[in-house]
Amino acid sequence: MKHVISIYSLFQPGIVIASPSTTNPDYLYTWTRDSSLVFKAIIDQFTSGQDPSLRTLIDEFVSAEGILQQVSNPSGTVSSGGLGEPKFNIDETAFTGSWGRPQRGQWCGCFIMSFYIELKGLVADGPALRSIAIISYANWLIANGNSSWVTGTLWPVIELDLNYVASNWNQTTFDLWEEVSSSSFFTTAVQHRALREGSALATQIGQTSAISNYNTQADNTLCFLQSYWNPTGAYITANTGGGRSGKDANTVLTSIHTFDSAAGCDATTFQPCSDKALSNLKVYVDAFRSIYGINSGISSTAAVATGRYPEDSYYNGNPWYLATFAVAEQLYDALIVWNAQGSLDVTSISLDFFRQFSASVAVGTYASSTSTFQTLTAAISNFADGFIVENAKYTPSDGGLSEQYDKNSGTPLSAVDLTWSYASALTVFEARSGFTSPSWGAKGLVVSSSCSGNTGGGGSTVAVTFNVDATTVFGENIYITGSVDALQNWSPDTALLLSSANYPIWSITVNLPASTTVQYKYIRKFNGAVTWESDPNDQITTPSSGTFIENDIWR
């Protein structure tokens, strides 16, 4: 009891702790990502009228996040990348210890300094998710006649995050699990949503100065979002780097956290019932059928426990409660839309998904009055319930939800009482009951034929990886800028930060126009000073397709 009291004496109002676990693993921190996802669920409960008592908690959350935004940390200050810091101490101070999950064996004490520099401005889903949560609250306040609170209290917090997203969306970032430094489907999708909602809110309250930029960057992120689709494998590749298959809970979590029932089964934003999201769901689930002992003997068309990604080695790679719940939630969201619109579409892309439930189903549109619609939706509803049952099998009698459960025995593992696990249970049961959040503006969006400053989607592009051997001192970073939009048109202010994961090699992957001669230079930034590489400019000519790797040495 004394230990518990000592922990919670540090706990500040509005701070969400990831878990009370302090050893194996130590999760007694507050992650911007986790906190925002949790409070989005709480805000939805409040604004929908389910629990009016939650308002005080929400105000405390906004206040706490406003404080954390201003805390200088190893990623920088509020104006120099600090908003990208993933986690903080629960007393609202900066976390300054070593970083990285246990399986990242390359992180040793000698690289701690460079690892922090690598994080600067690169963990970009937190600001997006935080702004999404607070915008939901802001919209409710405006609808209930309290615009002044929005303008005076909420907007300053929201605006900082939106400006960060607008400026950094096309830089290399760490993925949802903070393991892979590349571009991440989840991050791009929530950044897109944040910018759309931010533009709409800014319009409502007369904050017009940034609207044009938010809209432009929202178009660019939507364009880039399309590049994650893998047409050959018929699934969404979660990350553009990392050396994995790309089959990842990241993609399922994206569909449920960017769900907009007004958008129907739109594939442009990968809505839960879109053909691409459904095909991806099948590929993702099937990836876990044979690698977990507890899934042995389960039918190939029945629910199973799922984890983060099949190559996972964290705690030896196991099912996660929140990942398994997410599968069910995507299916419930899909059922909500199909029932509301009175029909469902089977396309060539989603055909394999639907044939799990009816082997004879063919491509076509099925009205709710047809037996095919009724057969499919009933089977999919039972399928969704099965994933909840899988989690229930391995939930202890006290109802406690850890982070994971053992892939062979089902014993709960890793952090106990993971807050995100509980939030995922809350949202999956709400989806099962038919609950939907207000629309965020996904309906009718169209991908631009060309996108400025993006890394893929409009026009022909190729993924170019720039590697440069550059020795740095603590606090010094390596950036790149060049002659095309994707390299920021020679701007040192918006130059792209390279990753130091393989220090002294700094790396970044950028999608550049195909069959194009591109000039570029690396620059150093240290204590506000900018140092350019010596002349002449570096130059490459990109291929017509595929990928390209350029290895350089700092001059």
> 241-292 pLDDT, tens per residue?
778 899 999 999 999 999 999 999 999 999 999 999 999 999 999 999 999 9
Reported as a single tens digit per residue, the pLDDT across 456-467 is 333 578 889 999
Task: Find the range with the poorest average confidence among 163-167, 265-269, 433-437.
Answer: 163-167
> 113 pLDDT exceeds 60?
no
Least Cα distance to 56 among 99, 96, 13 occurs for 13
Residue that wins the pLDDT comparison between 447 and 290: 290
- In single-letter form, the type of residue at position 44 comes to D
Q: How many angstroms separate the CA atoms of 65 and 293, rounded?
A: 41
Q: Under DSSP, is residue 413 helix (H, G, I), strand (E, B) or coil?
A: strand
- Give residue 516's pLDDT band: very low, low, confident or very high (50, 70, 90): confident
Q: What is the DSSP string of 471-484?
A: ---TT-EEEEEESS
Taking residues 526-542, report their average pLDDT: 86
Reported as a single tens digit per residue, the pLDDT across 284-319 is 999 999 999 999 999 999 999 999 999 999 999 999
- Give residue 339's pLDDT band: very low, low, confident or very high (50, 70, 90): very high
Least Cα distance to 328 among 386, 266, 410, 289 occurs for 386
Q: Which domains does the chain have, with CATH numbers?
A: 2-432 (1.50.10.10), 461-553 (2.60.40.10)
> 7 pLDDT exceeds 50?
no
Alpha carbon separation from 207 to 78, 92, 156, 401 (Å, rounded): 20, 29, 11, 42
Binding residues: 99
Angle at 426 between CA 425 and CA 432, to 5 degrees: 90
Q: How many angstroms separate the CA atoms of 78 and 472, rounded?
A: 23
Least Cα distance to 496 among 508, 513, 512, 514 occurs for 508
Taking residues 522-544, report their average pLDDT: 87
Q: How many angstroms separate the CA atoms of 416 and 421, rounded?
A: 10
Mean per-residue pLDDT over the chain, rounded: 89
Using a cut of 0.85, tell me whether the model's pTM lies above it: no
Give the pLDDT confidence score for residue 403 in this predicted structure. 98
Residues identified as active-site = 175, 178
- Give residue 118's pLDDT band: very low, low, confident or very high (50, 70, 90): very low
Binding residues for substrate: 99
Give the pLDDT confidence score for residue 450 in this predicted structure. 52
CB 137, CB 43: distance < 8 Å: yes
Percent of the chain scored above 90 by pLDDT? 73
> 80 pLDDT exceeds 80?
yes
> 115 pLDDT exceeds 80?
no
Give the pLDDT confidence score for residue 123 in this predicted structure. 60
Reported as a single tens digit per residue, the pLDDT across 350-381 is 999 999 999 999 999 999 999 999 999 999 99
Q: Under DSSP, is residue 158 helix (H, G, I), strand (E, B) or coil?
A: helix
CB 9, CB 90: distance < 8 Å: no
At residue 73, what are phi and psi to the nearest 5 degrees?
-145, 180
CB 353, CB 279: distance < 8 Å: yes
Question: Containing H/E element for 537?
Answer: none
Task: Find the range with the poorest average confidence among 81-85, 127-131, 296-300, 332-336.
Answer: 81-85
Taking residues 35-39, report their average pLDDT: 97
> 547 pLDDT exceeds 90?
no
Beta bridge partners of 551: 467
- Give residue 424's pLDDT band: very low, low, confident or very high (50, 70, 90): very high
Number of H helices, E strands in the chain: 15, 19
Reported as a single tens digit per residue, the pLDDT across 389-401 is 999 999 999 999 9
Residue that is written with structure tokens 């930029």 in the block: 213
Residue that wins the pLDDT comparison between 445 and 457: 445
Angle at 347 between CA 275 and CA 354, to 5 degrees: 75
CB 549, CB 543: distance < 8 Å: no
Least Cα distance to 452 among 106, 216, 152 occurs for 216
- DSSP single-letter state for residue 271: -
Give the pLDDT confidence score for residue 2 in this predicted structure. 32
At residue 307, what are phi and psi to the nearest 5 degrees?
-125, -160
Give the pLDDT confidence score for residue 10 in this predicted structure. 55
Give the pLDDT confidence score for residue 109 in this predicted structure. 28
Reported as a single tens digit per residue, the pLDDT across 468-501 is 999 999 889 999 998 888 998 888 888 899 998 8
End-to-end CA distance of the chain: 59
Contacts of 295 (CB under 8 A, 6+ apart): 288, 289, 304, 305
> 16 pLDDT exceeds 60?
yes
Give the pLDDT confidence score for residue 240 in this predicted structure. 79
**Radius of gyration (C-alpha) of the chain in whole angstroms:** 23
